[in-house]
Amino acid sequence: MGYTKMWVHLVWATKRREPVLDKAIRVRIFAHIRENALNKNIHIDFINGWVDHIHILVSLDADQTIANILQLIKGESSYWINKNKLLPQKFEWQDDYFAVSVSESGINQ
């Protein structure tokens, strides 16, 4: 198999951009997303966000797609947030997302 290294900046928001991700919740979600991604062989270089959205910088392997990675991260994390009752109401991410490639020269390594 050939060598590939594709960096992608992913951004997605909470349903209706509701500002429900306070700092304490974000810290828990980010840690969980990192752990989940590691278990699924998804390389996350950086994760951050605000009360209504998340930014993640991932490196894609040759057999990974943006849609698949987002399904694994977004779907599982919303399930985990609800299962652990991090919020008083049902949590959902927006269906949409933003993805853009990033040049490796623009990455601080």
Q: What is the pLDDT of residues 37-71, one digit of tens each?
A: 999 999 999 999 999 999 999 999 888 999 999 99
CB 86 within 8 A of CB 77: no
CA-CA-CA-CA dihedral for 46, 78, 8, 53, to nearest 10: -70
Cut 0.75: pTM above it: yes
Q: The tokens 């349903």 sit on which residue?
A: 15
Tens of pLDDT, residues 11-46: 999 999 999 999 999 999 999 999 999 999 999 999
Among candidate residues 50, 95, 68, the one with its CA nearest the CA of residue 8: 68
6-104 classified as CATH 3.30.70.1290: yes
Chain center to CA of 66: 11
